[in-house]
Structure 1
Amino acid sequence: MSSEFFFAHSTAVIDDGCKIGEGTKIWHFSHVMPDSIIGEKCNIGQNVVISPKVKLGNNVKVQNNVSIYTGVICEDDVFLGPSMVFTNIINPRSAIVRRDNYQKTLVKKGASVGANATIICGNTLGEYCLIGAGTVVTREVPNFALIVGNPGKQIGWVSEYGHRLLFDENNEAVCLESGQIYSLDNNKVLRLK
């Protein structure tokens, strides 16, 4: 199903009641379920499932084999790497229906989640954070944090461009690619310029 506003491959399934923004592309064997909202200029890779009531902002990139479950909200410019995993229930059981217990997971603007990472539900991933490939996120992630491992641990800070920030004696750092200047104060990173 394609429209003049977005593209969907012929093998994609788009259920009634979805809202899909202009310039978005939905690729092979992906399924967008009812009442989900996808912003403008998103790219939904192959074999992706977007469950009911999921919200994706503008320019969200979803790589192949990702399931985005009810309760997940991704703000603008989020990157979801290949085969990364969201959960939406803390204590799932096959024989017990817990659809009323879905927990919210918020992925804030500019965050990137690496391939095969797992995001345990009920947490917020801060703006421009970078979650390394294979990481298991079990708690809140600060803005600009670099998280790796299982369980995920913070090992540093990154810029909006995804480069490691090395803070000097004045608690300032410069992004090597953009030249943006950042400050570290009370374990929080702010972009100055």
Structure 2
Amino acid sequence: MKEIYIDSTSIVKTKNIGKGTKIWQFVIILEGAKIGENCNICSHCFIENDVIIGNNVTIKNGVQIWDGIEIEDDVFIGPNVTFTNDLYPRSKNLSFVPIKTKIKKGASIGANSTIIGGITIGKYALIGAGSVVTKNVPDFGLIYGVPAILKGFVCKCGEKLINTEELNNKKVLTCNKCNKKYKVEKNLIKEEEK
């Protein structure tokens, strides 16, 4: 059985942590947080109560994860990524209700990106470093910039897909690294069946 590792400098109040998870230096995790198996939570992170983190998630240094954020399995969150959960913040707002944000399976968020609350980042999407994400990101979407816009699509392996053919008014994109093919129609992408 894989042990949970919690560095002695961290304050972890939740008991809901999956086996094999590692929590490094100066991390604070509040009581209501749920953290899956085999996660790696790096130093100087803060995780609030109403947070769900799936299995095999990597959260790099300096990330704060606020109430209302759900992170599915196999997600990578780069250093100093900033999440928000309030579109109109005010000090001492007693009627504040956090807005929900969802990061779907396999997505990767580059360092120093800002994720505005209330959006969904699709499966296996890739967000370039330093981006400000204000809208939903489609599955496999490659986005970057300020504000971040869709620049293309990526494979499950993370490689940028290239347009290789047109088939019945649908683009077919191919990964040069692993040779998987995807069909795209109206910015929706689907992996081809083999």
TM-score by length of 2: 0.93
Q: Is 1:7 paired with 2:8?
A: no
Partner of 2:67: 70
Partner residue, 2:94: 97
Question: Structure 1 residues 163 and 4 mapped into 2: Cα distance closer, same or farther (>3 Å)?
Answer: closer
Q: What is the distance in 1 between the residues matched to 2:107 and 2:17?
A: 21
Shift of 1:180: 1.6
Match of 1:188 in 2: 188
Task: Tell me what 2:179 maps to.
Answer: 179
1:139 paired to 2:132 = no
2:164–2:174 Cα contact (<8 Å) kept: no
Shift in CA distance, 159/60, structure 1 to aligned 2, threshold 3 Å: same
SS of 2:93 mapped into structure 1:
coil
Q: How much does 1:123 deviate?
A: 0.3
In structure 1, runs of 5+ residues without a counterpart are none
Matches within 5 A, 1:89-128: 89-99=86-96, 101-128=97-124
The amino acid of 1:120's aligned partner reads I
In structure 2, distance between residues paired with 1:137 and 1:81: 14
Structure 2 counterpart of 1:188, which letter?
Answer: L
CA deviations over 1:31-57 (Å, ceiling 9, x no partner): 111110000000000000010020000
How many percent of aligned residue pairs carry the same amino acid? 42
For residue 118 of structure 2, what is the amino acid of its counterpart?
A: G
1:148 equivalenced with 2:137 (yes/no):
no
Aligned position for 2:42: 45
Q: Which runs of 4+ in 1 moved over 4 A?
A: none
2:113–2:128 Cα contact (<8 Å) kept: yes
Question: Do residues 85 (structure 1) and 82 (structure 2) align?
Answer: yes
Q: CA deviation at 1:186?
A: 2.8
Is contact 1:13-1:32 (8 Å) kept?
yes
Return the alpha-carbon distance in structure 1 between the equivalents of residues 41 and 92 of structure 2: 32
Q: Which residue number corresponds to residue 54 of structure 1?
A: 51
User: Tell me, which stretches of 5 or more residues in structure 2 are unaligned?
Assistant: none
Question: How many residues are paired up?
Answer: 189
| In structure 1, distance between residues paired with 2:77 and 2:185 | 29
Which residue type is aligned with residue 9 of structure 1? D
CA distance in 2, matches of 1:130, 1:4: 30
| Secondary structure of the corresponding residue to residue 110 of structure 1 | coil
State the TM-score, normalizing by the size of structure 1: 0.93
Q: RMSD of aligned C-alpha atoms?
A: 1.4
Give the aligned residue type for 1:181.
Answer: K
User: How far did residue 168 of structure 1 move?
Assistant: 2.0
Deviation at 1:167, TM superposition (A): 1.5
The structure carrying a bigger strand percent of its residues is 2
Residue 178 of structure 1 and its aligned partner are, at CA, apart by 2.1
State the match for 1:22 in structure 2.
19
| Kept after mapping to 2: 8 A contact 1:167/1:184 | no
